[in-house]
Chain A
Amino acid sequence: MDAYWEPVWLTLKLASLTTALLLVIGTPIAWWLAQSRHWLRLPVAAIVALPLVLPPTVLGFYLLLLMGPEGLVGRLTEQLGLGLLPFTFEGLVIASMIYSLPFTVQPLQNAFVTVNQQLLEAAATLRASPRDQFFSVVMPLARPGFLTAGVLTFAHTIGEFGVVLMIGGNISGETKVLSVAVYDHVEALEYTQAHWLAAGMVTFSFVVLVALYTLNGRRPSGVMK
């Protein structure tokens, strides 16, 4: 039974960690994209959006090369005494973060763009530094954007498959997440077990999306807004 529940636990751990880290890293990126007039803005926006259009296997392939013993990142992590990242849980977290980046950054960026700039001017005349303005005005007003970003990132990470397979393989307790477990069960013709996991995921995703729509003011079109 433990082996049966392990993928569920691992998946939730991966999705939570990925979401938390992405919200921290994605927020400044989204703010910069929403505010900056720098020429690098568009190339950066395109890089952030790449995981949306690339097949997960392509992404996974390059990450594998990059983090492998011949790759730039791989050599760095080995020199730092961290070992190699592919086929570890840590490697999976990093891959998931890159894979889900647009699902964090884009809702945040859209939320930031709609924050009235005039309010920031008013805050500045009330002695708020730019950082203070961000925490006291932008963050509260962009709350629906944070909610959307968090939920989408979490749900999207739970649903990833291709990248996990490329970079993490299928190590029980380390990298064997739900989607891979379903695949395994089907391969082994264990349809009952596959059903339990698959139906669980369908139900979970449905509940999450309904909750998101409800919290964001009953606007179904608001998911990517």
Chain B
Amino acid sequence: MTARGIHARVWCRFEGFTLDVDLQLPGTGLTALFGHSGCGKTTLLRCVAGLQAWEGGLTVNGDAWQTATEIRPVHQRPLAYVFQETRLFPHLSVRRNLTYGYRRIPKAERDIGFDQAVQWLGLSPLLDRMPAKLSGGERQRVAIARALLTSPRLLLMDEPLSALDQGSKQEILPYLEALRDRLAIPILYVSHSAAEVARLADHIVMMDRGRVVAEGPLQETLARTDQPLALGDDAGVVLDAVIDQRDDHWHLCRAEFPGGHLWLRAEDWLTIGAPVRLQVLARDVSIALDQHTDQSIQNLVPAMVNDIAPELSPGTAMVRLLAGPTPFLARLTNRAIHTLPLSAGQYVWMQVKSVAIVD
């Protein structure tokens, strides 16, 4: 067992299904627990927190939180939990909600200061309000700050955005991104939204019926052909790129990634040298054997067919391609693969119909 990282061997029977996972997760960065509702991702989070009884062992960065013989109670685990329903104390003002956990940890362990958390989440105008007088987005920001103020060694977040409307989601996401980059502690983030995961995660654990179906660094794992069915229509890859050209005449800019480049619509903040995280969905990629310029798709990327895997839905296949070292996925019909024909090792042109900037 390594000192850094989270090792969780969790077995628990809960409401008619069994959670059975053995995970070795990184000790920093944001790990998304991803899957359909009922797959056990929230239960796993509750087990880690100690809110649910289970068997097995849990070590967080060298500290044993639970062993076969010793179960540390929730209030003695140096974690913080952000709940979907925020769970602010209705009888306490925002300020006293924030200091609830803060006052309960020893002064020497307060790595995150009160003013710091208030500033990070933009809460100074709200401090003297009661929770009932806050909007959904404000409430969730208070809940996040309240959690951070315990200076946790592990941050658990259970779908913190799912109860919010689109506007509030957009309000919170930048805060979450900033936290992910700022905090040196691991974050376990439960989500069923592929878009959130693509935007926020460094590492992903895909779950189904209480088991882990795939797990690993986000980009590698999303590019695997054997599991993207967990994502359904949202199957696709995420890649980190850098803006290296701007074409103001056509209002475009070019993002370079290892092994190629993609053109995007220019935005003001996409200056040269800016890092961007892009998402290319498998359903938006088609394949041509030659470089066709007599068509509307502008993003043509040379790539090599790496793997062809039959998908679960009949008639379609998932093709994995490599542009240099960077993997892509393309969802094609079996007939297309047969008539082109397409086989592993072949050099082709990817036609990328749409690229989304997720970060």
Contacts and interface: CB of A to CB of B under 8 A. Distances in A.
Contacts of B150: 126-127
Interface in A121-170: 121-130, 132, 136-137, 140-141
Contacts of B81: 121-122, 125
Nearest to B78: A127
B83 interface: yes
A171 interface: no
Contacts of B89: 119, 122-123, 137
A116 B100 CA distance: 17
A127 B73 CA distance: 10
A119 B131 CA distance: 13
A128 B87 CA distance: 15
Q: Which of B89, B146, B150 has the most CB of A within 10 A?
A: B89
Interface in A154-211: none
B49 A118 contact: no
Contacts of B338: none
Contacts of A140: 91
A122 B104 contact: no
Task: Give the dominant DSSP class at A's interface.
Answer: helix
B100 A124 contact: no
B51 A127 contact: no
B303 interface: no
B90 interface: yes
B91 A124 contact: no
Nearest to B91: A140
Interface in B93-119: 100-101, 104-105
Contacts of B73: 124, 129
B105 A127 contact: yes
Contact of B104 (A118, A121, A127): A127
Given A121-B51, A141-B90, A127 B85 contact: no
Interface residues of B, number: 23
B75 A124 contact: yes
B146 A126 contact: yes
Contacts of B156: 125
Interface residues of A, number: 18
Contacts of A136: 100
B285 interface: no
B101 A141 contact: no
Given A119-B89, A121-B51, A141-B90, A126 B83 contact: no
Contacts of B104: 126-128, 132
Interface in B285-306: none
A127 B89 CA distance: 14
B80 A125 contact: yes
Contacts of B74: 121, 124-125
A116 B131 CA distance: 15
Interface in B153-192: 156
B278 interface: no
B39 interface: no
Given A122-B81, A123-B100, A127-B104, A141 B91 contact: yes
Contacts of A122: 81, 83, 87, 89
B37 to A, nearest CB: 18
B87 A118 contact: yes
Contacts of B85: 118
Contacts of B76: 127
Contacts of A141: 90-91
B79 interface: yes
B83 to A, nearest CB: 6
A116 B150 CA distance: 22
A67 B105 CA distance: 50
Given A121-B51, A122-B81, A127 B101 contact: yes
Contacts of A128: 75, 100, 104
Contacts of B101: 125-127
Nearest to B92: A140
B91 to A, nearest CB: 5
B151 to A, nearest CB: 10
Nearest to A121: B51
Interface of A: 116, 118-119, 121-130, 132, 136-137, 140-141
For the complex of A and B, 8 pairs with smallest distance between CB atoms = A126-B101, A122-B87, A125-B81, A127-B104, A124-B74, A140-B91, A124-B75, A127-B75
Interface of B: 49, 51, 73-76, 79-81, 83, 85, 87, 89-91, 100-101, 104-105, 146-147, 150, 156
18 contacts: A118-B83, A118-B85, A119-B87, A119-B90, A121-B74, A121-B83, A122-B83, A122-B89, A124-B51, A125-B80, A125-B156, A126-B75, A126-B100, A126-B150, A127-B101, A132-B75, A136-B100, A137-B89
